[in-house]
Structure 1
Amino acid sequence: MEGFARTHQGAFPLRSDPAPTAHEGSVSSETSTKTESELDLSIKALETLILSRLDDDKAQDIVHIDLTDKSSVADSLIVASGRSHRHVGALADHIIRALKESGFGKARVEGLPHCDWVLIDAGDVVVHLFRPEVRSFYNIEKIWAVDAPHRLASN
Structure 2
Amino acid sequence: MGDTQVITPDVVALREEIGAPGMLVLQFAWEGGGANVHLPHNHYPNSICYPGTHDNDTAAGWWASTNDKAKTAFTRYTGVQDAAEVPSKMIELGMSSVSKDCIMIMQDVIGLDGSARFNTPGTADGNWVWRSKSFDNFTAEAENMVALCKVTDRAPPGKYDNEDE
Instruction: Give the structure-2-normalised TM-score.
Output: 0.29
Instruction: Give the structure-1-normalised TM-score.
Output: 0.30
Give the strand-richer structure, 1 or 2. Answer: 1
